[in-house]
Each structure stands twice: as structure tokens, then as C-alpha cells.
A = this chain, B = another copy of it.
Amino acid sequence: MTAFLFLILLLLAVVFAEVLTRLIKKLNRDLVLLHPFRSHQKRDEELKPFQNYLNLFANSLMIAMGREDIFYELNEKALKLEKEGKNIIRLNIGEPDYRVDKSIIKAAIKRLNEGNVKYGSAAGEYYLREKIACMLNTDTQDIVITPGSKFAIYSIMKNLLNKGDRIMVFAPCWPTYKLIAGDLGIKVCKLEMNEKWDIDTAILNEHMNNIKMIVVINPNNPTSSVLSNKRVREIVEIATDYNAWVLYDVAYADLAFQPVKKIVEDNVLLVDSFSKSFSLSGWRVGYVACNRDICKRLIKFNQITISCVPEFIQRAVFTGLEHKDKIVKKARKVYKERAVFAYRYLKRHVKVCMPCSGFYIFPHIGMDSVKLAFNLLEKGIAIAPGIVFGEKYNEYVRISLVRDLEVLKDSMSVMIDTINKTKSETI
């Protein structure tokens, strides 16, 4: 009997010792977390065992970005109506109406006529990379040509981030980032911009734990707002503090009504496109500028996916860059005229910020934007409902300023009438 009791006591002691050991181990690691003098990288490593707890906690920050499916649904419907012979004013997509400069087309045609367009460099043609590098005041090796900036974004996220990593975007935000991240198993956190579409860097700083990349779209899509160079600098510094990348998407920078600096730094990945500034949307050409070690990885990815961007397209862009000031100045003038016109018209009826860049206006319409968008489509006008850019923006719409003033005026007039009618019906 004594032996039996002794045995039970011993077993209990063993179990107790085991539990105690585990608790101490855990506690030890917890204490490490509170140590203020460790580097972020080291802390990250030590945090790994707790990733699951932290994940649960961080989910409150996670993005339910929006309903980008509605964007495609609406676009498909617009295309269907067009096929049925109906005339649709397409203000829903970011497609320039502006004709491509003749010099660009001529350069492409010249190369095609020469007839020997062969496999090119996976990095992009040297002359084009050199030209871009010169404009950005960096080295040719820091440039990689891609088939559009979207491919550049995909390549960067694929090659620099791992499944489960977190990126920070500022809402409202172009939905493609969420789609690409989703495909790669990358988690998207968001920070809402304030009502002037600016970013509160103090709040950003508070939410940087575990963030591996900050996405900055400047000028922004859909708001056409511009961040000051000072604000961009602050964001880059916060990223540096937290060992994070900045993906700096400047696809609209050349159409901004104030200077937007294109920066290339060690932890900054500059992504640019010729789709908007040169109206080359369907040609698929853009670039990344970043440190050359990262470039090498992006070039390898080009090698095993696209091989190269067609050389005649690169030749055309090169020619465009030689006339860049003239081409871009002209485009900016047209877009500014439209932006001012749209802003003046809309502000009499709804809450709206003056765009600081070409392309979009993002008014607050005070009603369900999905309902309005489908309603307007029946009347031959396509716009993008705000919910596409973030769940909080369902009472906004994005209007692409890609038609003449007359057409824009008529479209906005129909929109305002529809809004007023719907509102009065609801009352």
C-alpha cells in the first residue's frame, strides 16, 4: 500500500516537473520580448514561436479590403452592353483616351520593319535601362524592365516576401495589391487615410509590428491625391526602422500637378509604368528601380516567366522618353483641365477633394455606390463603385477623367440627377 502511494506521488512529481519546465521555457521567451535593446531582426526571430498568438491579435487589423469582384462584374456587363450595340461611356477603368504620341508609334514601326526582333535581355535592353537610370540619377544595373507595373509588383512580392508575411497598404487602395497578395498567401493590413487623403505616420508607426513591406501609391489610385515629399520620407524612415521594404508605386507621378519625386534607395522598390503617362496601357511596359542585388532576383524571375519584353516596345518607350517633357506636359494639361472642371462641377452637389494628379476623381456621393453604378450603367455610363477600393468607401465612386469635358459634364449631370432622385425616393 505504501509502495502504491509512493508511486502515485512520484508520478505526480514527474508531471509537475514537466509542466514547470515548459512554463519556465515559455516565460523565458516572453521576457525576451520585453527587452528594449534588441534589434528588430533579432526580435522577429524570437517572436516566431508566438506567431500564432500574434496572428490572432493582429487579425483585428486585417483588411477586408473591398469587393473587387464587383469591379469586374460591372466591367463585364459594360462590355456585354457594348456588344449589344449600346454606347457606353467608360469612366470605370484607367484607360487613357489620349492618343499615343506619333514618335512612339513610329519608333515601334521602324523596328518592326527592320524585321529581326529576337530574344532580348531578361533585364531589359541596355539603352532603355541606361536612359531610365539617368533620369532617376541611379545606375543602369538598378533598373529592370517589366511587362507593365503590375508584373513588377507581382515579381517583387513573389521574390521578396514569404507566404504569411504582412504588408501595409493605405486605404482607399487600388485592389490589385490585395489580389496579388492573396495569390501569394501574403496578408494585407490597411491603414485608413485621413479625410484629406493624407497618412498619419504616428499611427503607422504604432502598427508596424510584423509588417514586411509598406505599399505607397503616389499619386494615389483612386483618390488622385499626392503625398508630400516630406511624408514619403517619413514613411521610408519608419520602414527602415522596422527593417521593412517600401514598394513605391509612381505609375501616375508624371501626371501629377505638383512634383512627385521618384526615389531609389536601399529599401525602396520604385515601380513605374508607361501606361498612363504615354497612354501605352495595352502595350504592357513598365520598370522597377531598386538595389542591384534585388534586380538580379527580378531578372531571374523574368528569365523563367516572360523571357523579355519585346524589343520594339522598348525601343518605342525609349523614343517616348526622348520627348518625355513635351508628351507628359501636354497630357498633364489635358488632365488638369478635366480635373478642375470635374471638381468645380461636383463640389456644388457632393463632398469631393480636388485631384492633385491626372486621371481620377473620387467624390463622396452619400449613397450605395454599387446601386448607383449599376443604375448609371443602364443609362450608358460606367463608373467604379467605391467599395472596390475598401469596405469603408461604399459611398464613394471613382470617375476616370478619360473623356472630353463635354462628355464628362453630361455624364456627371446624369450621375447627380440619379443620386438626387434615389435620395428623394428613399426619403
A interface list, Cβ under 8 A from B: 2-3, 6-7, 10, 93, 95, 99-100, 105, 108-109, 112-113, 115-120, 147-148, 150-151, 154, 176, 179-180, 183, 280-284, 301, 303-313
Contacts and interface: CB of A to CB of B under 8 A. Distances in A.
Contact of A179 (B112, B303, B308): B303
Contact of A154 (B180, B281, B304, B309): B304
B99 A150 contact: no
A87 B423 CA distance: 75
- Number of chain copies forming the complex: 2
B117 A304 contact: no
Contact of A119 (B117, B281, B306): B281
Given A105-B112, A282-B120, A148 B307 contact: yes
19 contacts: A6-B7, A95-B119, A99-B116, A105-B112, A109-B113, A117-B282, A117-B283, A119-B282, A120-B282, A148-B307, A150-B304, A150-B305, A150-B307, A151-B305, A154-B305, A180-B304, A305-B305, A306-B306, A310-B310
Given A108-B112, A151-B306, 5 more contacts: A3-B7, A6-B7, A99-B116, A105-B115, A282-B312
B115 A100 contact: yes
Contacts of A7: 3, 6-7, 10
A112, A179, A305, A310: residue with the most chain B Cβ atoms closer than 10 Å:
A305
A95 B308 CA distance: 14
Contacts of A307: 148, 150, 284
A337 to B, nearest CB: 21
Nearest to A108: B112
A313 B307 CA distance: 16
Nearest to A313: B310
Nearest to A101: B115
Nearest to A154: B305
B310 A282 contact: yes
Contact of A308 (B282, B310, B311): B282
A70 to B, nearest CB: 15
Given A3-B3, A6-B3, A7-B7, A148 B306 contact: yes
A321 B206 CA distance: 59
Contacts of A154: 304-305
A108 B282 CA distance: 13
A206 to B, nearest CB: 31
Counting chain B CB atoms within 10 Å of each CB, the highest count among A6, A281, A307 belongs to A307
B183 A301 contact: yes
Contacts of A2: 3
B284 A311 contact: no
Nearest to A122: B72
Contacts of A176: 304
Nearest to A94: B119
Given A154-B305, A303-B179, A311-B282, A115 B95 contact: no
Nearest to A109: B109
Nearest to A311: B282
Contacts of A301: 183
Nearest to A97: B116
Contacts of A150: 304-307
B304 A284 contact: no
A275 B311 CA distance: 14
